[in-house]
């Protein structure tokens, strides 16, 4: 990549639609959605006009709570064209988490589908907005969510009372002239925020990471370059759109290279293998768990992937053995690894298709183009020499604008010189290749999902039988890490069980936050100054749960 580009997400879509009007843009194999770039751009414009007709516009926040359905992509690009901000909602959220996100993000509209697995989205939003059924569409009213006016239904059933039906949006847009639309479109600036993704930290409450058009377009371009994407490639997208993995490493990397997208609504090994085979995909992304599930599936050998060559394995530590199997058995000889975080749009380092296999399975690559990286002493901030572990820091075009309405948290993450402090321990060799060695922060990464112990702890503190609780990550061969809750009960005679703890979390929080393990204790290991030693808790848990073999798995 010779230079960074200054263009909006919507502007780039129009550019690709002009350059490759008849090339396939998006193809779903399980529904009649197969569009060229020109057809897709035209449909995006119809939805964008519909949003304008509904009173949504520049700077408004539009939340989307859906799996990888076509409406997700249409909402993304239509929001970008009118200068609105897309707020992505984790599909596993329950009522507790959704209420916080909608309130903190000041979302004016929420696009949702019927639900996913054990979460009924329609019931949840009606629980949050009990008067929704009795109001006209577009007149949602809840004092706890003062900004929320529109609930847009993109599900498969009849549109529930009080909601705007997805199929009516384009019709409403007919009242908006081309001139009105182009005037709004022309005012969108590449440095405007276009996406907000929620991530947490030591405070335990999610923070809205503000990413600009400039952030995600250029990061997507650099990522696609590392995989040598062209308009002749086809990427199977089975990672969720709501993560940076789906939105930037997949959608933006495809858009910037006019690479065709083959989305899979929710990850299922057979659906992914079918999509790769039937559409002759050249690339697929996934967290290690996804690749393991395909490789170990009983029907794996029934599928053929003749054109599959590249993709990204990321999201959690990548077992070297799994990388080797993906190269050998799936033919992905040019598979890459990316490292980063949402606050960096997200990629900061990446291997390329030209790197040796050894480098691609033992490191997370070099710094991305136009991104500065360094390893510093976490205590002093001093830059460390090669092969010395310290905190990974990055600076460049890709660093977020900040956390929404959280200036202090922003200052803690980005220092006065513009360096983003990752909280991850890493080291770099003499040739500039990085290896992640651990985390300073407590964050648990389970199968690519970031889990923040403090959030679960805060919830469990509300349990009447819990006196104290610490949540830690313990090693897992399948998921990289699993959640373990270490609990001090109020009284042993209360009869508190591990199932009680798990059920409480399951009923109020996303599935992936439910502790797989619950250990009851009388006390926690402390430092002399009274701080809880989580690393000692982890050591104790590994021993008590007999996870020594999982802890020994070698990762890049």
**In the chain, what's the furthest Cα-to-Cα distance?**
72
CA distances for 454 relative to 503, 511, 517, angstroms: 18, 16, 16
| CA–CA–CA angle 389, 393, 396 (5° rounding) | 150
Output the six-digit token pair for 78. Answer: 């239509």
534 phi and psi angles, rounded to 5 deg: -65, -30
Q: How far apart are the first and last CA of the chain?
A: 26
pLDDT at position 556:
57
pLDDT at position 203:
45
Q: What is the CA radius of gyration of the chain?
A: 23
Helix (H, G, I), strand (E, B) or coil at 40: helix
Contact status, residue 176 vs residue 72, Cβ threshold 8 Å: no
Helix%, strand%, coil% for the chain, nearest 5: 35, 25, 40
Contact status, residue 213 vs residue 191, Cβ threshold 8 Å: yes
Secondary element (H or E) of residue 235: strand 234-237
What CATH number matches the domain at 35-189, 3.30.830.10, 3.30.460.80, 3.40.1160.10, 3.40.50.980?
Answer: 3.40.50.980
367 phi and psi angles, rounded to 5 deg: -60, 140
pLDDT at position 281:
98
Contact status, residue 258 vs residue 16, Cβ threshold 8 Å: yes
pLDDT at position 201:
45
Give the residue among 153, 152, 162 at the shortest CA–CA distance from 60. Answer: 152
Output the six-digit token pair for 48. Answer: 């964008």
181 Ramachandran zone, left/alpha/beta (phi>0; psi -120 to 50): alpha
pLDDT at position 526:
77
Give the residue among 273, 244, 256 at the shortest CA–CA distance from 5. Answer: 256
- Which residues, other chains included, contact 67 with Cβ-Cβ below 8 Å and sequence gap of 6+? 91, 113, 116, 240, 265, 266
CA distances for 479 relative to 160, 240, 356, angstroms: 37, 17, 26
pLDDT at position 1:
57
Place of tokens 């290991």: 525
* Domain spans in the chain, listed from the N-terminal domain onward: 35-189, 444-551
Contact status, residue 227 vs residue 254, Cβ threshold 8 Å: no
pLDDT at position 200:
61
Q: What b/e sequence results for 202-221 when a residue is b if at least 16 CB atoms lie within 10 Å of its CB, and e otherwise?
A: eebebbbbbbbbbbbbbbbb
Q: Is the peptide bond before 379 cis (omega within 30 degrees of 0)?
A: no
Residue 48, Cβ density class (10 Å: 0-12 exposed, 13-18 middle, ≥19 buried): buried
Contact status, residue 208 vs residue 103, Cβ threshold 8 Å: no
pLDDT per residue of the chain (556 residues) written in tens, 0 to 9:
569 999 999 999 999 999 999 999 999 999 999 999 999 999 999 999 999 999 999 999 999 999 999 999 999 999 999 999 999 999 989 998 999 999 999 999 999 999 999 899 999 999 999 999 999 999 998 899 999 999 999 999 999 999 999 999 999 999 999 999 999 999 999 999 999 999 864 345 789 999 999 999 999 999 999 999 999 999 999 999 999 999 999 999 999 999 999 999 999 999 999 999 999 999 999 988 899 899 989 999 999 999 999 999 987 667 778 888 999 999 999 999 999 999 999 999 999 999 998 898 889 999 999 999 999 998 889 999 999 988 999 999 999 999 999 999 999 999 999 999 998 889 999 999 999 876 676 778 888 887 878 789 878 988 999 988 999 999 998 899 999 999 999 888 788 999 999 999 999 999 999 999 999 999 999 765 566 788 889 999 999 999 988 877 766 5
CA separation for the pair 437, 546 (Å, rounded): 23
| β-sheet bridge partners, residue 65 | 112
Residue 167, Cβ density class (10 Å: 0-12 exposed, 13-18 middle, ≥19 buried): exposed
pLDDT at position 167:
96
Helix (H, G, I), strand (E, B) or coil at 516: coil
Fold adopted by 444-551: GMP Synthetase; Chain A, domain 3 (3.30.300)
72 phi and psi angles, rounded to 5 deg: -65, -50
């Amino acid at each position: 990549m010779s230079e960074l580009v200054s263009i909006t997400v919507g502007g780039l879509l129009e550019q690709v639609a002009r350059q490759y009007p008849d090339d396939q843009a998006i193809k779903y194999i399980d529904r009649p959605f197969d569009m060229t770039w020109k057809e897709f751009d035209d449909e995006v414009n119809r939805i964008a006009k519909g949003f304008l007709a509904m009173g949504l516009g520049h700077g408004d926040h539009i939340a989307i709570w859906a799996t990888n359905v076509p409406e997700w992509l249409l909402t993304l690009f239509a929001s970008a064209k009118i200068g609105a901000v897309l707020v992505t909602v984790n599909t596993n959220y329950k009522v507790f988490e959704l209420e916080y996100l909608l309130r903190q993000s000041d979302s004016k509209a929420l696009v949702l589908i019927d639900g996913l697995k054990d979460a009924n989205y329609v019931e949840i939003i009606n629980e949050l907005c009990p008067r929704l059924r009795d109001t006209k569409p577009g007149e949602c009213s809840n004092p706890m969510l003062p900004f929320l006016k529109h609930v847009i239904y993109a599900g498969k059933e009849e549109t529930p009372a009080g909601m705007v039906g997805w199929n009516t949006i384009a019709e409403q847009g007919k009242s908006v002239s081309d001139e009105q639309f182009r005037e709004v479109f022309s005012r969108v600036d590449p440095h405007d925020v276009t996406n907000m993704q929620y991530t947490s930290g030591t405070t335990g409450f999610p923070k809205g990471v503000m990413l600009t058009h400039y952030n995600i377009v250029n990061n997507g371009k650099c990522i696609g370059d590392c995989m040598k994407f062209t308009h002749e490639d086809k990427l199977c997208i089975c990672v969720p759109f709501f993560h940076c993995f789906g939105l930037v490493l997949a959608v933006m990397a495809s858009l910037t290279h006019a690479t065709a997208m083959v989305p899979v609504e929710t990850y299922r090994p057979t659906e992914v293998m079918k999509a790769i085979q039937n559409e002759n995909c050249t690339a697929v992304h996934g967290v290690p768990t996804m690749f393991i599930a395909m490789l170990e599936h009983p029907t794996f050998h029934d599928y053929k992937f003749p054109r599959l060559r590249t993709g990204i394995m990321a999201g959690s530590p990548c077992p070297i053995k799994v990388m080797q199997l993906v190269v050998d058995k799936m033919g992905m000889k040019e598979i890459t690894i990316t490292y980063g975080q949402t606050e960096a749009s997200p990629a900061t380092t990446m291997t390329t298709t030209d790197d040796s296999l050894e480098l691609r399975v033992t490191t997370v690559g070099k710094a991305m183009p136009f991104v500065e990286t360094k390893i510093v002493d976490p205590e002093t901030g001093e830059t460390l020499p090669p092969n010395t572990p310290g905190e990974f820091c990055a600076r460049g075009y890709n660093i977020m604008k900040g956390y929404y309405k959280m200036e202090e948290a922003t200052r803690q993450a980005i220092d006065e010189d513009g360096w983003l402090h990752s909280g991850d321990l890493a080291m770099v060799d003499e040739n500039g290749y990085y290896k992640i060695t651990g985390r300073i922060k407590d964050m648990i990464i389970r199968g690519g999902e970031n889990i923040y112990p403090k959030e679960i702890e805060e919830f469990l503190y509300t349990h009447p039988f819990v006196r104290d609780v610490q949540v830690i990550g313990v090693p897992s061969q399948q998921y990289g890490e699993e959640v373990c809750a270490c609990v001090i009960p109020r009284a042993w005679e209360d009869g508190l069980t591990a199932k009680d703890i798990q059920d409480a979390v399951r009923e109020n929080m996303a599935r992936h936050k439910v502790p797989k393990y619950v250990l009851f204790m009388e006390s926690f290991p402390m430092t002399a100054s009274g701080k809880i030693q989580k690393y000692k808790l982890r050591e104790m848990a590994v021993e008590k749960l007999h996870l020594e073999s999982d802890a020994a798995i070698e990762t890049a």
